[in-house]
Amino acid sequence: MQKTKQIFFKTDEEVECIRENCLIVSKALALVASLIKPGITGAYLDNEAETLIRDLKSEPGFKGLYGFPATLCISVNEGVVHGIPTKQEFKDGDVVSIDCGSKWNGFYGDAAYTFALGNVSEPVMELLSVTKTALYKGIEQAVHGKRVGDIGFAIQQYCEREHGYGVVRELVGHGLGRSMHEAPEVPNYGRRGRGVLLKDGLVIAIEPMINLGKRDVVQSEDGWTIITKDRKPSAHYEHTVVVRKNKADILSNHDLIEEQIKNNPEINEIFAKN
């Protein structure tokens, strides 16, 4: 992916614009959370999400970006990220990563959530819980004065060392603003105290992509979807945050999604660990 090398720190006004985009994304994912179940197709969800985003006077952030054809990236089971919505119905036991972007007023927003449909096996539920927890471990490090490597280290340490999962190397989080993907890259692996210095006003998307098996990924035949090489399931959670002193401000909103999951009997709640 092409990325600008320059790091842009955002004014408070720009941050509010990005927050608005992230709220639109969160509303679209909340709508998805209310609709998704076995028997539903990704193509249907994509259409619903696009309609909502346009009703909110925004534009889908991914559609047309690098030529991507849809509003949502939908990656099922061994799908890691960048899956194209299809007319194939979801099945009981599927885990479905859904990533969404918005573009409004010259800025972007970005967030993702992995949904567990029906009878998902215990090891896969654990993968989702650990991946969601890892996201917050990364966010804890996104404070003024730390470095990008601190975020990656926290995520890698927790997922790889403590849980034995595969941390995807080829795909990373990113700066975000007037472009969906800006500098710096935010890997989910790294060394403490290394990499770009995090400063107040830096907006980044943190998005652990964690595999139940090995870390290796390959591109599927559709030319877009990234899948695990060993075909074992993968999980993905993402927030856009702004680096602040003492504590990052999370601009996207998973609570809206989780309120809908609570009301959707076919979707399992995913709990972060203490």
- Residues in contact with Mg ion by CB under 5 A are 99, 110, 112, 205, 238
Closest CA to 162 of 115, 95, 210: 210
Please state the closest distance from residue 260 (CB atom) to Mg ion, in A: 19
Q: How far is the CB of 202 from Mg ion (least distance, A)?
A: 15
Q: Which is nearer to Mg ion, 59 or 110 (CB)?
A: 110
Give ∠ CA 210-215-221 in degrees, rounded to 5: 95
| Identity of the residue, 185 or 245, whose beta carbon is nearer to Mg ion in the bound complex | 185
CA 183 to the chain's CA centroid: 17
Sign of CA dihedral 42, 129, 29, 119: positive
Taking the C-alpha atoms of residue 270 and residue 130, their distance in angstroms, rounded to an integer, is 9
Nearest CB to Mg ion, comparing residues 112 and 261: 112
Rounded distance, CA 166 to CA 259, Å?
30
Min CB(99)–Mg ion separation in Å = 4
In whole angstroms, the minimum distance from the beta carbon of 71 to Mg ion comes to 12
Closest CA relative to residue 132, chosen from 121, 116, 109, 119: 116
CB nearer Mg ion, residue 25 or residue 159: 25
Q: Which C-beta is closer to Mg ion: that of 17 or that of 111?
A: 111
Complex with Mg ion: residue 18 or 205, whichever CB lies closer = 205
Query: d(Cα 113, Cα 98) in Å, to the nearest integer?
Result: 6
Which stretches of 1-160 are assigned E, i.e. beta strand?
59-60, 72-76, 79-81, 95-104, 107-117
Smallest separation (angstroms) from Mg ion to the CB of 61: 8
The alpha carbon dihedral of 128, 130, 132, 134 has a sign of negative
Residue 155, Cβ density class (10 Å: 0-12 exposed, 13-18 middle, ≥19 buried) = buried
We find the least distance from the C-beta atom of residue 67 to Mg ion, in angstroms, to be 17
